[in-house]
Amino acid sequence: MLGLGVIQGLMVTARNALGTLRGDPRRDVNIAYPEMRAPIPESFRNFPFLVTDGTGVHDGLRCVACTMCEQECPPQCITIVMERDEKGKPAKKPKVFNIDISVCMGCGICAEVCPFDSIKMDKVYEVATTERFGSLVLTREDLAKTNTYFHQISPAEAAEVDGRLAEQKRVAEEKAKAAAAKAAAAAAAKAAAGGAAIA
């Protein structure tokens, strides 16, 4: 009958309105953003940061300023200057490490190529600033974040990285020990040979 469709429609909207008012989870699907936040998926990423094993910039930055990320970065947003001591000898530390996040496209290639697991992708999405140029260039101080923080934002990857680093360290130590033992043995052999020669 003519007009029934309007009444049916009114019933649909009434159900929606009352459901929203009652807070029915099927109707009221909103997340009131600043107070409530949607959970971030494990694989979410936006801008890179630098992992430190210590607490700040000057101790324990994993980065050795190899500039691999700088070379690989597709939009060329990373600037690295290596630190040198008075004699001009490289100190295996970055003096300048800047990322211009107004240029960064969040591809994550820097994190992939880093051989020292030093640069990783962050999950901070509130990066708005009141000024266009200076504030969007993140310096070494802004980028350095602790390994604990990395564990917080992506626990699975951080655990994997830690395991790998520990393994590398163990292998390196064993190698060093073996090398030292070999050197000692060689020295001992040399000493013995020398003694024989004398004798």
Partner 1 sequence: MNPSSFFLERFPVEARDFILSFLPEALRPWAAALISVVAILAAFGLFFAFLTLLERKSLAWVQNRPGPNRTGPWGLLQPFSDAIKMVTKEDIVPAAADKLLHYLAPVVLVAFSLLTFAVLPYGRHLVALDLDAGVLFFFAAGAGTELAIFMAGWSSRNKYALIAAMRALAQLISYELPLLLSFVPVILATGSLRPVAIVEAQGSWTWGVLPHWNVFTPWGAAGFLLFLVAALSESNRSPFDLPEAESELIAGHLTEYSGFKYALFFMAEYFGMTALAGLGVTLFLGGWQAPCEILQWVPSYAWFGMKLLSVIVLFMWVRGTTPRLRMDQLMRLAWKFLSPLALFNLGAAIVWLVTAQWQFPGALALRWVLASSIVVIPFLVIGRSLSRGLSTRTYGFAP
Binding site for partner 1 (CB under 8 A): 1-3, 6, 9-10, 12-14, 16-21, 27-30, 32
- Comparing CB distances to partner 1, the nearer of 35 and 131 is 35
- Comparing CB distances to partner 1, the nearer of 17 and 193 is 17
CB of 129 to partner 1, least distance (A): 23
CB of 14 to partner 1, least distance (A): 7
CB of 37 to partner 1, least distance (A): 16
CB of 5 to partner 1, least distance (A): 9
Q: What burial letters (b/e) apply to 29-57, b meaning 16+ CB within 10 Å? A: eeeeeeeeeeeeeeeebebbbbbbeeeeb
Place of tokens 């266009």: 132
DSSP string, 27-88: T-----TTTS-PPPPTT---SEEEEESSSSSSS-B------HHHHH-TT--EEEEEEE-TT-
- Comparing CB distances to partner 1, the nearer of 30 and 130 is 30
CB of 97 to partner 1, least distance (A): 40
CB of 16 to partner 1, least distance (A): 5
Identity of residue 59:
D
- Comparing CB distances to partner 1, the nearer of 6 and 128 is 6
- Residue 82, strand partner residues: 94
Q: Do you know the residue count of the chain?
A: 199
Q: How are the residues of the chain apportioned to helix, strand and coil, as percentages rounded to the nearest 5?
A: 45, 15, 40
- Comparing CB distances to partner 1, the nearer of 3 and 115 is 3
- Comparing CB distances to partner 1, the nearer of 29 and 196 is 29
Nearest Cα neighbor of 142 from 56, 81, 20, 19 is 56
Phi–psi pair at 81, nearest 5 degrees = -125, 125
